[in-house]
Amino acid sequence: MVLADDNFASIVALYWESLIPWHLFNFFGLSATAIGFNKQDSDVVKAKPRKVGEAVVTGWLFFRYLVIGVYVGLATVAGFIWWFIYSDGGPKLTYSELMNFETCELRETTYPCSIFEDRHPSTVAMTVLVVVEMFNALNNLSENQSLLVITPRSNLWLVGSIILTMLLHMLILYVHPLTVLFSWTAVLYLSFPVIIIDELLKFLSRNTGMRFRFRLRKADLLPKDRRDK
């Protein structure tokens, strides 16, 4: 793969393209597979049977996925911005300077414009994404039960896959020629709230019967040429 220009956005996009397949292998190949060994919820016998034609993903569950997805996206971007603005190893830019990186060479600055080609912020963002997804994997031990009820000990396969994933990720961070120096405390601060958010959503599911009317009609799932049959 050859870069056609030295644009900051192009460099960041290329670097992410090289890391995302690795992340997908780690999470979906290991942790997501281990989730298949989850035990049934303790209150499964109390759950009402699904109605005929009810969607697998209900409106409330879709809303929960949406909230978690938005948080994961925000935390990942925050990790990227954090390195530029707050990290001791970063340039300590202002938010305005970061947002106007394209005009760096046209302005007098106290830092070299090459700082925007640094791979550290992208690696911090990817690490936040990996860690937050590992925490989110723990959220998936149960659809509605708290982690205090169905603990990680209920699926040691998942615990093992998370440990292995983190070891593989740290192998890339610290054995790769690029030694990535950043605060793991910042990564954890950005990643751990995904558990708190989902715990709150699970609490609402258990105690308020929160539901949204949302379902696809069967006709919406069929090709157009079969809807009239």
| Within a domain: 44 | no
What pLDDT does residue 189 have? 93
**From CA 206, how far away is CA 210, in angstroms rounded?**
8
Strand, helix or coil for residue 52: coil
What pLDDT does residue 178 have? 54
pTM for this structure?
Answer: 0.75
| Within a domain: 223 | no
Q: Domain range for residue 196?
A: 15-35+54-216
DSSP annotation of 214: -
| Within a domain: 9 | no
What pLDDT does residue 208 have? 77
| Within a domain: 1 | no
| Within a domain: 176 | yes
Q: What are 153's two structure tokens?
A: 């000990």
Q: What are 211's two structure tokens?
A: 């539901």
Q: Which residue in this structure is represented by tokens 């040691």?
A: 156
Q: Which residue in this structure is represented by tokens 């890391």?
A: 19
120: which residues sit within 8 A by CB, 6+ positions away? Answer: 83, 87, 89, 90, 180, 181, 182
What does each of the 229 residues of the chain score in pLDDT, given as a tens digit? 444 545 544 444 645 555 556 556 655 667 777 887 777 766 655 666 666 676 767 788 889 999 999 999 999 999 999 999 999 888 999 999 999 988 998 888 889 999 998 888 988 998 898 899 899 999 989 888 899 989 999 999 999 989 988 888 888 777 765 556 667 888 999 999 999 999 999 998 888 766 555 454 444 444 555 555 5
Report the candidate in 4, 12, 15, 186 with the shortest Cα–Cα distance to residue 116.
Answer: 12
- Please tell me the total count of domains within the chain: 1
Report the candidate in 226, 228, 216, 210 with the shortest Cα–Cα distance to residue 60.
Answer: 210
Q: Are 60 and 212 in contact (CB under 8 A)?
A: yes
What pLDDT does residue 113 have? 92
Q: Are 182 and 89 in contact (CB under 8 A)?
A: yes
**From CA 223, how far away is CA 199, in angstroms rounded?**
38
123: which residues sit within 8 A by CB, 6+ positions away? Answer: 19, 173, 178, 180, 182
| Within a domain: 40 | no
| Within a domain: 6 | no
Calculate Rg over the CA atoms of the chain.
22
| Within a domain: 41 | no
Q: What are 106's two structure tokens?
A: 């046209």
What pLDDT does residue 68 have? 94
End-to-end CA distance of the chain: 48
Strand, helix or coil for residue 100: coil
Say which CATH number the domain at 172 has. Answer: 1.20.1110.10
